[in-house]
Structure 1
């Protein structure tokens, strides 16, 4: 069993703002900006201090217009693909800060581990290190999955931060010892995809095709939680927040109402559950399709 989470779970919560229209109530542009300000202020008032961003669409610019003042947030920025060239990666990282109105960011993450193992991987890392040395980012690191061999990459590049998918349904980074191995190197670990694309909140008919074969398992997991009188969101956050190796648990939210629900679930008493029995038996099956779905939604 995993030890109970820290007394103040919000200290480990990080926010990824979802800008997709399907997750937000339709509204005029001005109202959307006000809603984003309210979302960020709600998170700030609750003590959330980390915001994870992506260089997609108009999200960075919208955040730049909506930060509370003074902003309490440490911002994590992700690179664009190395396929665009190292110069473009650096220029876009700088542009991310400009779009958000920030003189510097907290963390710059290589978006894909595959960018670091390719022919230009070392050049990419050296360019990220140079941005850190110039004071534009306090820390650098990379995003990876369990299939990428993140512990080996961490030993090779010695990052400050590694971001890994980690959820109640897919506990592999915990069960295989990957979290322990990376944490032993003094690396900060951020858990992403903690809601696993919302699978626990979907009925069997609503599951994406690549995950449909998991419907019976998901039904059994939901039934176990219902019998224990534990909400799926509460269980999901309790599991990830209780992992001692993970310093930041990134939860996505599209509105102040959603972040309030996340905060309420995080503050709920930690349930006495056998976490190991609440994971999918073969989470790797369909993981690639699920990651693509999560990437497009959060």
Structure 2
């Protein structure tokens, strides 16, 4: 089993998720197949959260049944509503997560609310460092939505990991120099939303009426991929691997086949010419497309 730079996101095994999700939440048999295929393919890191429905519970049970709980690297998130005040809430969430996951230590405790960066205090740093000293966590991370928040997180001595969105259409964090900043500080980056919550898989005619604003860019993207003889999966993973070297890449899956397709795609190297064409075609895509919170209903 060779290692990979992919992290399996497990929101899909805990709840319905993604605009292009046609199958819904997998049953327990499918969840086992997903996790087994990931592990056999070299994926040893998993992303979950208290807020992902039954994800923590299902992940914990299946990894325990597989006999790999002590080997797996698990990242989870406390409730996103935590405002940086009473850290006992975070500790309570952490203990609940460890129990459900059948592990004694998290790889990364990942805060899912970038607003806490504005209220971060030395007391919070002391609290997370105490959790490290107790062996409850290895790393502390923050998932962010803006380049400014990424810079603040990277500059925080108590934060080891920053999770950011990036994909075929999204240049924001690249232009802000986030990769160089992380490398200069020895911090780890995780890249999420490489499929833009499934939007990139959709043909323009499949878009709901309230998302007609994305039709032109989707059509242009699919045209480039068709001419380049690339699948969306291969292009999305290969592009991020090329543009964000050394970074972990978060993927999700609703079926075993999707896991296997992602693993295969991760072995495909995209030519510099195709990468340059994509970057030229999409230099500054509207945030209305890049930010799912702006999609409306």
User: Which position in structure 2 is the counterpart of 1:296?
Assistant: none
Larger RCO of the pair (alpha carbons < 8 Å, separation 6+)? 1
Question: How far has the Cα of 1:95 moved from its partner?
Answer: 1.0
**Count of residue pairs the alignment pairs up:** 280
SS at 2:185 equivalent:
coil
Over 3 Å counting, the alpha-carbon distance change for 1:49 and 1:292 in structure 2 is farther
CA distance in 2, matches of 1:171, 1:189: 16
CA distance in 2, matches of 1:261, 1:82: 36
TM-score by length of 2: 0.84
SS at 1:64 equivalent:
helix
Question: How far has the Cα of 1:209 moved from its partner?
Answer: 6.2
| Correspondence 1:277 to 2:280 | yes
SS at 2:155 equivalent:
helix
Over 3 Å counting, the alpha-carbon distance change for 1:64 and 1:270 in structure 2 is same
Picking from 23, 37, 46, the partner of 2:41 is: 46
User: Which position in structure 2 is the counterpart of 1:115?
Assistant: 116
Question: How far has the Cα of 1:249 moved from its partner?
Answer: 0.2
Over 3 Å counting, the alpha-carbon distance change for 1:26 and 1:252 in structure 2 is closer
CA distance in 2, matches of 1:139, 1:278: 37
| Correspondence 1:62 to 2:58 | yes
Question: How far has the Cα of 1:278 moved from its partner?
Answer: 4.8
Over 3 Å counting, the alpha-carbon distance change for 1:220 and 1:156 in structure 2 is same
Over 3 Å counting, the alpha-carbon distance change for 1:248 and 1:291 in structure 2 is farther
| Correspondence 1:139 to 2:154 | no
Question: How far has the Cα of 1:38 moved from its partner?
Answer: 1.8
CA distance in 2, matches of 1:198, 1:48: 21
Question: How far has the Cα of 1:181 moved from its partner?
Answer: 1.2
Over 3 Å counting, the alpha-carbon distance change for 1:43 and 1:214 in structure 2 is same
CA distance in 2, matches of 1:164, 1:104: 24
Question: How far has the Cα of 1:110 moved from its partner?
Answer: 1.3
CA distance in 2, matches of 1:292, 1:94: 34
Question: How far has the Cα of 1:217 moved from its partner?
Answer: 1.8
Map Cα deviations across residues 227-246 of structure 1 (whole Å, 9 max, x no partner). 11111111100011223444
What are the within-5 Å matches in structure 2 for residues 98-109 of structure 1? 98-109=99-110
Map Cα deviations across residues 179-230 of structure 1 (whole Å, 9 max, x no partner). 2112211001110111112222112343366653131122111101111111
User: Which position in structure 2 is the counterpart of 1:225?
Assistant: 225
What are the ranges of 5 or more consecutive residues in structure 1 without an aligned counterpart? 1-7, 294-298
Over 3 Å counting, the alpha-carbon distance change for 1:242 and 1:253 in structure 2 is same
Question: How far has the Cα of 1:280 moved from its partner?
Answer: 6.1
SS at 2:216 equivalent:
helix
User: Which position in structure 1 is the counterpart of 2:191?
Assistant: 191
CA distance in 2, matches of 1:86, 1:270: 45
What are the ranges of 5 or more consecutive residues in structure 2 without an aligned counterpart? none
What RMSD over aligned residues (CA atoms) do the two structures have, in Å?
Answer: 2.6
SS at 1:282 equivalent:
coil
